[in-house]
Structure 1
Amino acid sequence: MKVLVAYESKYGATEGIAERIGERLRTRGLEAEVVRCSDIGDASGFDAYVVGSATYEFRWRKGARTFVKHHADVLAAHPTWLFSSGPLGTETVDKDGNDVLKGAEPKQFATYAELIHPRGTQVFRGAYHHDKIRGGDRIVAWMPGIREILPEGDFREWDVIEGWADSIADSLAAART
């Protein structure tokens, strides 16, 4: 069974998540191809899809949004899962007691629920390193106080990511039998 893991990443953290998902699916006997959304011309020819993006200000990156818009019919006709990366730190709840990961869901999860009917969605923690920031983001990253507000480090939980990939493999195996 062929699975496309399509992603859009700005600084590489989401790309790393997509690569790990692809690796895990391959260890489970699936043929997984991991490709940046903006590099995909034709998305047909796969049996299932996993699509993810880094999230900024509760929105997926443009390349991922464009990919879903252009390939909505293909995605809706096949098993599809969506993921997002973004929240930093290790806190599980915010100052108001709300689940941090649930609160970080991109608005695309709700939009795409009606459009492509994903089998599942997942928000993963991301990574942030002050010294990797480039372009226009440098202005924000170097504003007074930002370094103190944004936790620096790699907060990706590889066991959670692998567990989610395993659940996708299990779902696809169950559909084959």
Structure 2
Amino acid sequence: MAAVLVAYASAHGSTEEIASRIAVRLAAGDADVDLSRTTELRDVGRYDAVVLGSAIHDQQWLPEAVAFTTRFRLDLSSKSLWAFSVGLPDTLPGPLRPFAMREEAKIRALAVESLHPRGHRLFSGVVRTEHFPPLSRVLFRAVGGRFGDFRDWEEIDRWTDDIAAALHGDRVTP
């Protein structure tokens, strides 16, 4: 049975809920799973694999997620690693979506590519009016942005199932 850490950095709870869903699904697939905020971890040595996620704010991972990758860079380099980001792509209208995807590639390069993850996904999250200052709300709406819950749970489940299959195929043991 693989020991898996699902670690996350969440600003408003959406990333935490996605991480929790991933952890529950991996555990159902016969993995020994721990779920934790990146700020609460002191050691990752006991894990065979890590699934690491962060919300995206100001076109970058949250500082606590970046600090986690810096602090545990050496440990993470010896583990099976998957990463996910939670951002805004599905909240934007069609013409702006390609821009969001280009930005996602930059975020991936800055945040996780140097760690050589086995996979990375950008998921849409929850966007509420209270997440933005008043002027930003107006600008977000002006460019066609929409508020709401844009998480695609089926996509998240498929990705998680792919991770579970990879872990099972690797025959990772504690």
User: Partner of 2:109: helix, strand, or coil?
Assistant: helix
1:138 to 120, 124, 133: 133
Q: Which runs of 5+ in 2 are unaligned?
A: none
Structure 1: how far apart are the matches of 2:141 and 2:99? 24
In the TM superposition, residue 108 of structure 1 has moved relative to its aligned partner by 4.4
Tell me the amino acid that sits aligned with residue 21 of structure 2.
R
**Cα–Cα, structure 1 residues 126 and 26, in superposed 2: closer, same or farther, change >3 Å?**
same
Distance 1:138 1:48 in 2: 38
- Percentage identity across paired residues of the two chains: 32
Q: Measure, in 2, the Cα distance between the counterparts of 1:77 and 1:69.
A: 14
The equivalences for 1:12-91 within 5 A come to 12-89=13-90
1:122 aligns with 121
Contact 1:88–1:128 (8 Å) recurs in 2: no
How far off its partner does 1:6 sit? 0.6
Residue 130 of structure 1 contacts residue 147 of structure 1 at CA under 8 Å; is this kept in 2?
no
SS of 1:168 mapped into structure 2: helix
Greater share of helix residues, 1 or 2?
A: 2
8 Å Cα contact 2:91-2:147 kept in structure 1: no
Find the aligned partners of 1:63 and 1:90 in 2 and give their Cα distance: 25
CA contact (8 A) 2:91 2:146 kept: no
Partner of 2:158: 163
> Which structure is higher in RCO with an 8 Å CA cutoff and minimum separation 6?
2
| Shift in Å, 1:88 | 4.9
Give the C-alpha shift of residue 57 in structure 1: 2.5
Query: What are the ranges of 5 or more consecutive residues in structure 1 without an aligned counterpart?
Result: none
Where do 4+ consecutive residues of structure 1 move more than 4 Å?
A: 139-142
CA contact (8 A) 1:55 1:106 kept: no
